[in-house]
Amino acid sequence: MIGRLMSLVWAELTLLRRSPLAVVNALLLPLALGVGWLLLAENTGKGTDGDTTAMQLLMLLSFTPYAGVTTALAARRADLVLKRMRTTALPPLAVISGLAAPYAVLTAGQIAVLTALHPPPRWWPLLVTAVTGTVLAVALAFATAAFTPVPELAQLTTTPGVLAFFGGGMWLLHTGDASWPMRAVPGVPVAELARAAWQDGTPIWPALSATAVLTTAAVALAVRAFRWEPRR
Amino acid sequence: MDDIAIAAHDLRCRYGDFEAVGGVGLAVRRGELLCLAGTNGAGKTTIVDTLCGHRRPVGGRARLLGLDPARHRHRLAARVGVVPQDPGFAGGLTTEETYALWTRLRGHRPHRGLAEAGLAHRRRVPVRQLSGGERRRLDLAIALAGHPPVLLLDEPTAGLDLEARERAWTLIRERRAAGAAVLLTTHAVEEAETLADRYVVVHGGAVAAAGTAAEITAGLAHRITTVVPARLRRLEPPRLRGQATWRELPGGQAELVVTTPEPGADTAALRGWSPVPLDRLAVTPPSIGDVLRRLAGSS
């Protein structure tokens, strides 16, 4: 089982590596935007380290595990690869994990690079953010892929999700504190969790709960709407 | 142990309101090759898809090695080799990577399959650069990996050139001889006739005929063809049991085609009628292709 899963992960990583557009979108663009945001924050002197890291994380999550996985899923479905996957010895959850794993690993690497630039005083909230944020982004990607018939349309169908991540973060930066309704926007609880790495004593359970609820909702939507083969 | 490896009983499949398959039954024993023949849109691919477990039938049941394929897809993966109608490969992987990936995902080790399929020289080429026929060969190589006891082959020779087709038929024949149960759909029914033990002919989602080629074609007309001088048309017509048609050929010749249920008697009648020896005389028995042509003509 592990061997088969690793074969799938390796194949997906190979496809990612060989696609210049995917490399730019999933690797270079989020890193460049993250570094750009850091320079902007340092030049303007606005926002705390926590705010900067939160925005960098949201950019990463928007591009790499969210838009990247959505595009990959739409492409594999259009190529009938997903349909074929169902007749393999891998159960659906393993197929999904195998397809998303390279993007998750890439996200982890990008987070490591960006946080190394200015490490937080508390590591564990940042780790929690990375894990829960990636899971939420992948779950949203599966839900979005259900409405993305071809990979070319992914740029369009992921726009609301990217805005929900990025806009949510901006909203939190603007208001300072999050209310419960605000936490319904995916970027808000993720940014809240990331900021907690720099804010000693800040409770993370409201943001963690909101992330869990959003992830569950995205998974439920994906299970209901996701298709393994193109519509006939 | 049950000898029947592939079974469908009163299988019914729908796409919305359209009934694509309406009560099809078939059974394939180990070491047997059953050809699922039919006109375009007859429901062949839907039957194969259902046997693969891609869709649940709305009625009846499908079984592979005694298991419901829709419920036990993953348990069956290593024991069922499938050539789907459409390939389903990521174009960015090479032939070798694709073969290794899908072979491993089916639970087997990659082994010599590319060489057997005649693709060894294309192993480093991205799949998107393969021709349609080469992709088909790759599909067949993956399906045959691990010597599965069940093979579901949907148009395995589509797009293949003559040499590749012969190679594919040889591989399939070897697997059947080794005890695999093979369900095959193909448009090259004339080629499949050298291979198939039995046929199920479907038309409009239902079984139109089933049995051996001899059983299905029994009662259909033979074709007698010969070339004679065109001037013989002016003679009194031969007394035949079948129907004769003429086609003018260059050089004062004509082709005479007789469609008849009694080829022996009509061949003798033609010989007695012609004042000159019959040139290029051939008697062609009815084929599954004739059955399909009749079905296509009837709809």
Minimal Cβ distance to A87: which of B52, B92, B100: B52
pLDDT of residue B103: 94
| Arithmetic mean of pLDDT over chain B | 90
pLDDT at B299: 61
Distance from CA of B297 to the nearest CA of A (A): 27
Q: Is the pLDDT at A170 greater than 80, yes or no?
A: yes
> A14: which chain B residues are within 8 Å (Cβ-Cβ)?
92-93, 97
Q: Is the pLDDT of residue A5 over 60?
A: yes
Domains, chain B, with CATH or none: 4-217 (3.40.50.300), 222-298 (3.30.70)
pLDDT at A28 over 60: yes
B237 interface with A at CB cutoff 8 Å: no
Chain B residues within 8 A of A86 when measuring between CB atoms: 53-54, 73
B52 touches chain A (CB under 8 A): yes
**pLDDT category of residue A89 using cuts at 50, 70 and 90:** confident
What is the rounded distance in angstroms from the CA atom of residue B190 to the CA atom of residue A34?
64
**Both structure tokens of B31:** 């070491």
pLDDT for B144-183, tens place per residue? 999 999 999 999 988 888 888 999 999 999 999 999 999 9
Please judge whether A232 and B54 are an interchain contact, meaning their C-beta atoms are less than 8 angstroms apart.
no
Compute the count of residue pairs across chains A and B with CB atoms less than 8 Å apart: 69
Chain B nearest-CA distance from A148, in A, is 18
Q: Is B261 helix (H, G, I), strand (E, B) or coil?
A: coil
Buried b (16+ CB within 10 A) or exposed e, B3-31: eebbbbeebbbbeeeebbbbebebbbbbb
Tell me, yes or no, if B88 comes closer than 8 A to chain A by beta carbon. yes
In this prediction, residues A105-133 reach a mean pLDDT of: 88
Give the model's pLDDT for residue B89: 93
Decide if A84 contacts A74 (C-beta within 8 A).
Answer: no
Q: What is the mean pLDDT of residues B236-240?
A: 83
Compute the average pLDDT of residues A122-143. 90
Q: Do B92 and A18 touch (CB under 8 A)?
A: yes
Contacts 24+ apart (CB under 8 A), B289-293: B289/B189, B289/B190, B290/B217, B290/B220, B290/B221, B291/B37, B291/B201, B291/B208, B291/B209, B291/B216, B291/B217, B291/B220, B292/B37, B292/B38, B292/B39, B292/B189, B292/B201
Q: Is the dihedral of CA B100, B103, B104, B109 positive or negative?
A: negative
The answer to whether the Cβ–Cβ distance between B105 and A75 falls below 8 Å is no
- What confidence score (pLDDT) does residue A106 get? 92
B121 vs A11, A66, B117, B130, B151, CA distance in Å?
Answer: 21, 39, 11, 12, 26
Res B1 pLDDT > 70? no
pLDDT at A195 over 70: yes
Q: pLDDT value at position B81?
A: 95
What pLDDT does residue A184 have?
92
* Interface contact A87, partner B, CB < 8 A: yes
Residues of B in contact with A23 (CB under 8 A): none
Contact state of A83 with B54 under an 8 Å Cβ cutoff: yes
- Interface contact flag, B92 A8, Cβ < 8 Å: no
Distance from the Cα of B257 to chain A's closest Cα (Å) equals 44
For residue A203, name the pLDDT band (cuts at 50, 70, 90).
Answer: confident
Q: Which among B84, B101, B105 has CB closest to A89?
A: B105
Separation in Å, CA of A84 to nearest CA in chain B? 6
Beta-carbon separation of B100 and A76 below 8 A: no
The predicted pLDDT at position A232 comes to: 65
Chain B contact present for A17, CB below 8 A: no
Among the partner-chain residues A3, A81, A88, the one whose CB lies closest to the CB of B90 is A81
Q: Looking at residue A125, what is its pLDDT?
A: 87
Taking the Cβ of residue B89 and every Cβ of chain A, the question of whether any pair is shorter than 8 Å is answered with yes
Smallest CA–CA distance, residue A93 to chain B, in Å, is: 12
Confidence at residue A47, expressed as pLDDT on a 0 to 100 scale: 66
Q: What is the pLDDT of residues B68-86, one digit of tens each?
A: 999 998 889 999 999 998 8
Question: Which residue in A8, A87, A90, A95 has the most chain B C-beta atoms within 10 A of its own C-beta, making it the best mutation to test that interface?
Answer: A87
Nearest to A11 among B91, B97, B106 (CB): B97
Judge: A8–B91 Cβ closer than 8 Å, yes or no. Answer: no
Judge whether residue B97 has pLDDT over 70.
Answer: yes
pLDDT, residue B218, reads: 84
pLDDT, tens digit, for every residue of A135-147? 999 999 999 998 9
Q: With a cut of 80, say whether residue A207 has pLDDT above it.
A: yes
**B215, HSE (Cβ side, Cα atoms, 13 Å):** 10
In chain B, the residue whose alpha carbon lies closest to the alpha carbon of A17 is: B92
Tell if the CB–CB gap between B77 and A88 is shorter than 8 Å. yes
CB of B196 within 8 Å of a chain A CB? The answer is no
- Rounded to whole angstroms, the Cα distance separating A159 from B140 reads 41
Tens of pLDDT, residue by residue over A33-67, are 888 888 887 787 766 778 888 888 999 999 999 99
Nearest CB to B73: which of A76, A86, A229?
A86
Q: Report the residue from A76, A89, A90 with minimal CB separation from B90.
A: A76
Residue in chain A closest to B107 (alpha carbons) equals A89
**Alpha-carbon gap, residue B164 to B206, rounded angstroms:** 32
